[in-house]
Structure 1
Amino acid sequence: KPVDYKHLYQLAAQAKMASAQIQLKIKKTEQISKISKEQMLLKQHRQVWWQEHKRLTETRCCVTFLGVLESFMFHPEQKLSKERDTYQTNTLVPVWQLKEDLKFQLAEMQRSLSKESLGKPSINSIEVLQQVAFPCQFKFIERVNVVQSGVLSSISSPQALVNSSEEKNGVFLAIPPELLCLECPYPELKALVISEYQELSSGVWARLQEVDQQLEALSSDWKEEDQWVFQTVINQYPSDLQRRRTLYLDMLQRYLPHKSRHELVAQEKAQAAVHSIRSQRRALLLSWAQQSRAFVLRAVAAAAEASAAHEAQVLLADSRQKQLQICAELKAKVWSHYFPALFPSISQQFPAFPHALFPSISQQLPTIPNIPQYFPTFPSNFPAFSQQFPAFPSVVSQRFPCPGRVQFRRALLEQRLLQKKELELLQARQEQEKEKRLEALRQQVAIVARVDPARAVADTVASRARMGIGANEELELQQPLFKLHTYSEEQVISDPRLRVELALREAGLHKTPYAREVLSKLPPPKLPRRDMESTAFKL
């Protein structure tokens, strides 16, 4: 068959034209979507920046009003210039004139002294100064001082805030005055507190230096103006705004056309990292302030406790020393008064015996009645005393204690030991009886389990019930609650319509028009009543 190239060329041209039309439609659609997207972005930008425009307009109106009011009411520059000129005219110009006059008069006086005799009357400088008038001098000086104090206060207040916000090395490494002025009786404790504070401050300062190094590493090479524009545009869009990132990136591309999107995204990430690190730095400074304050409070509390404990120890030592002194004085009194009655032979042989033992006690002591007789122990200076009285041990050894009293105390001690042993035996017997009763109770309630290995490895009742093992099968089928009066199985099977339908299903023809036509023409075994006759196939 010959090929009709003209017809093929026409078909190709038609296809190219259709393709060009489709491409044109696609370009128009893209352009329309781009324009609509641009308009939507501009609308959202307008909604966001309208708030800023409104705020700036109000601020501009307020500033203009204040400027007009200031120029109308105060005129500070003109007023200060006028006051300065008046001050120079009234105060400085007379002083300069006086200075020139004094120089001229001094030169004239030197020339006259060189020519004439010394009898010429001299010029009194005090009288000359009194003759010069300074109009309004003190009033202007007072006003200048007032203005100067006001300007200095206005300048120093923000400077103080700036200085307070700056962190320096001394803020962390310097020791607080509370710790330096800490009143503690133990110098070791104070030195330990100061060393611990220095360690804590050095650790915080090292961490702060690391954070500052991270901030320096994240510093951008952008111009200061570009960074200001970037931060201002981002801050203009609230954080709860939908599509916030898309909006401020689009606006940044408009304000910073010389920056690519990749650079803007990198700067955004860097700003986020800087913000996070600054938050960490702020949190670190806050925690350091809290830690230092808590440390100072703990140190002050510890110093107060140490001072209280030291005072208590001092008071206890003083009271103990007083008690020992009182006891020594009482012993000396008793010894000096009752020693001659107890040991007449020793007192006759050694008349200076009590005073040699207690030299601090005076010999003239008042009598102390109703003091029991006892033999006191020798003091710590007994070796020196034995050197002074070498025959004293042999004399004391001749006096024996009372045998009846010793025997009575020995019998009393044996009786106490016997009672203690009987009490221990009674407690041991009670413990044994208690243990026997408990053992009998344990035997009564004990559980006796026989050894059955088969039962140990066999299935439990619950597992058999869960698996259905050994369940009794129901012999009787479940009967319904009531009997149904309907067709029997034989009646249903004897219906010719059912037989024909089963045959059609076996042949696969039950969905064909032939099956519908055949089934519609088959009558039932028993014709229904007229009111029960179906009209479904008659429509």
Structure 2
Amino acid sequence: MFRESIAILQELRRTPDKLNANDVSAPWNLSPARHWPTPGRAEAWLVGCVVELANRRGENCFHGYAGCTSNSLCNRTIKMSSRDVCSFVTNHCSEDKEKLLGHSKCKVVQYERLQDMLETKRLSSQLSQQKVQKVLDAAQVNKERSVLRLHRQVWFQEHHRLNIARHKTEKDLQHFLHGSGFKEEADTDILFQLQEYELDLKQEREEFRLTTVEPVYQLRDDLQYRLSSQYSKANHISELEKVLQQVLSVRQQQEEVMDRLKCECVFLQQDIRVTDLKESLLSAAMEDQVSYLEKVPDEIFTADCLYPDLRSDLIHSFHSLTEKYKLRIAIQETRLQGLDRNCGWNAADHECFQHIMSQYSPSLRNQRSLYIDMVQRMLPHITKQELSAHERRSDWYHFSLTQKNLVLQGWHRDRSELLLRALSMLEDCRISHIQQQELQKQRSHQQNICLKLKAKLQQWRIQQEEAADLEATLVAYGFKEEEERLRKEQLREKTRRSQLKQQINWFRAEKQMKQEEQRKKDMERLAELRREIEEQVQRDKERVKFRKDQFQQKLQMHEAKKKQKQKDDKEKEERLRALRNQVCKVAEANPERMIGNTVAWRVRQQPEEVFTLQRPLYQLNTYTDKQIVSDPRVRIEQALRIAGLHNTPYARQILSELQPLKPPRRDMESAAFRS
């Protein structure tokens, strides 16, 4: 019946032109499950819906059912499904507009509502875009702050380093000027000249202060005095004009002084950097070093050498070393072609770039991004591509210079090593020649000595032959004595071995007797142990049999309890079935039920009856009141509560130390939270 009611309700909602959604008493706005809980009222609601549907179709579908009762009408309506609604209602030809309005897929477009929705979406999109832009701006500001903080840290470190270097340089200069660096009379003259120059510089600074800085301070004091003192209003304007003229004149003078100082500073810098003095000095020093290294050392020509071929070979080695390193220097110079000291930039920009790069050490995190950011801030007219290209050119320029210096250092090192080897070789040749001469003298002297020694050797051989004959006779006599001694020693050893063999035989016999006695004792102990094991096996069998009997008894008791429980469940189910049969409701065919009170309503009007169960539904296994009161923990807690001490630390300590009358079983304790 519920499905048929839903189908009728859907048919009613397909005609929105006649449906009043604000009518609370209309049948389509009432839920049968909520407002009519009884079957009779649900049928009444369904009949009302069918009548309303027929009225909307414009036909009186209940014309033929005027003489029928409400019960028969409800029965016919309940039997009708949702597919029979169209055949139940007479056909009604409506217009195209009504068909479109009644169709679920064709609706009237509400342009004003869509326009409002579009404006709302546009406003929300603009707000979201503003929020996103705000977040991006905040992120950009935070990024800028973090970068500036890193720049500030680097600047502080560089400032501290420069201060230390300045103090150290000033200290060294003062130490040098006070005479500690000069030891000769000519040096003392230079010291006196430097001290006189220092005094001249101090005098010029004092004159500059008096002519430029002092008037500014005087004007400031005069203005402060004029502001603090009171003048008449008549002279006030004239005084202000005079003061303004003085201020303008002083400002103009200061601007002229600053311009002149800037020009002098520029001229001094140009004088210091005139014609790239440093680069020219470096190139001149490098050329002098190359010309010095190209020459063959004079030590090779001045050294004593008795072998001309060796000297020519050494000179050839120096020439080959010179050619090898000149080729390497030429390769480095070809790399430096087209590159100057500033790498294509002007001197000020390149100096600023190098100074910024020196501030950011390679150990600093994000070193390249930081110094590129600082260079772009200091030189905004230079693009990032130009900066990267200049960085590559500068690295290549410094790398080539470093390689050239390394080549010169290697040349100087190899030349020094070759010179040392050559000098050592020449010295070895000279020493070997002297040794050969000495050896020749020693050979002649040695021959004379050999002749003398040969005569002595002949005499010594004769004496040795006589001594050998005497020794042979002595050895033969000693050999005979040794044979006699060995024979006696063998005899003593034979008697000792016979005695030792007899003792070993006695020891073996005694040991065998002891082993036999021990074996008999072990056999007796083994028999005794076997008897004890058999008795223990018999006792274990009896215990196992006893445990099996007990287990069988427990199984029988468990089966009996299980059967009793099934029997109790069956009786309980029968009682519940009887109770359900008692409370079951059967709707009878009664036309007066539509306007009269229902059975449920009459039951609610009657007083409630207390239903007492004859037997409990299930068995409760818990503690009795006597068991609870007899527990000492409960009684002590009650006494503490009466005394008002149950929330004190004393009460908590006492209650934690109390033990129950019957300790809990060990298998009921949980070991999950034990450490």
With the shorter chain as reference, the TM-score category is 0.3 to 0.5
The structure number with the bigger radius of gyration is: 2
Question: What TM-score does the superposition give when structure 1 sets the normalisation length?
Answer: 0.41
Question: What TM-score does the superposition give when structure 2 sets the normalisation length?
Answer: 0.34
**Which structure dedicates a bigger proportion of its chain to helix?**
2
Higher relative contact order (CA 8 A, sep 6+): 2
